[in-house]
Amino acid sequence: MRRSWLWGPVLTTLGCSIGGRVDRFAPAKQPDGVAVALALRVGRRAQGELLAVQDTALVVLAQDSVTLVPYSAVVSGQFSQVGELIETPPAPDFATRLRLVSRFPQGLSPDLLARLLAAHGQSALKVVAR
């Protein structure tokens, strides 16, 4: 009886200190999405901030331009502190993780997209060719 009373608090304390910590996860400390580095077809690369994850594409802020990157244009991708994109489109669980660490995890409504584009001096998304 006495041993079980001792192990309860010990296990609870260990459970609270094992795993990820907010102070070590950069996306939790600022409103930005995670940093992304994409290898694109034809040997090009794109780097920037992950704004949103869609069913067919990623929306990335690259070189101060709001850019739509279709999965068909992506060879691979690296997402800071999240992992590597090795298949396109991403597996549902990985897409969910990416969505949660993007700047707009709820997605971009037409009104929100229009305001974002206006803030960056654009009238439409820049689209990466497949």
**Is 48 a member of any domain?**
yes
Residue 87's domain comprises: 32-127
Q: What is the pLDDT of residues 41-81, one digit of tens each?
A: 888 999 999 999 999 999 999 999 999 999 999 999 999 98
Beta bridge mates, 2: none
Q: How many CA atoms lie within 13 A of 100 on its CB side?
A: 10
**Is 4 a member of any domain?**
no
**Is 61 a member of any domain?**
yes
**Is 123 a member of any domain?**
yes
pTM of the model: 0.77
Q: What is the pLDDT of residues 80-97, one digit of tens each?
A: 989 999 888 999 999 999
**Is 90 a member of any domain?**
yes
DSSP state of 71: G
| Conformation bin of residue 27: beta by default, left when phi > 0, alpha when psi is -120 to 50 | alpha
Beta bridge mates, 74: 40
